[in-house]
A and B are shown apart, each in its own frame.
Chain A
Amino acid sequence: ETGVTQTPRHLVMGMTNKKSLKCEQHLGHNAMYWYKQSAKKPLELMFVYSLEERVENNSVPSRFSPECPNSSHLFLHLHTLQPEDSALYLCASSQELLSTEAFFGQGTRLTVV
Chain B
Amino acid sequence: GQNIDQPTEMTATEGAIVQINCTYQTSGFNGLFWYQQHAGEAPTFLSYNVLDGLEEKGRFSSFLSRSKGYSYLLLKELQMKDSASYLCAVRSEDTDKLIFGTGTRLQVFP
Contacts and interface: CB of A to CB of B under 8 A. Distances in A.
Contacts of A106: 40-42
B100 A42 contact: yes
A90 B45 contact: no
Interface residues of B, number: 23
A101 B48 contact: yes
Given A42-B4, A43-B89, A45-B97, A104 B42 contact: yes
B98 A40 contact: no
Contact of A98 (B33, B40, B96, B100): B96
Contacts of B48: 100-101
A70 B26 CA distance: 33
Contacts of A66: none
B31 A2 contact: no
Given A42-B4, A43-B87, A98-B96, A103 B45 contact: yes
B43 interface: yes
A42 B102 contact: yes
Interface in B28-82: 30-31, 33, 35, 40-45, 48
A84 to B, nearest CB: 17
Contacts of A45: 97-98
Interface string A42-79: 11110000000000101000000000000000000000
Interface string B1-12: 000100000000
B31 A4 contact: no
Contacts of B31: 100
9 contacts: A2-B44, A40-B102, A42-B99, A42-B100, A45-B98, A100-B33, A100-B48, A102-B98, A103-B45
Interface of B: 4, 30-31, 33, 35, 40-45, 48, 87, 89, 91, 96-103
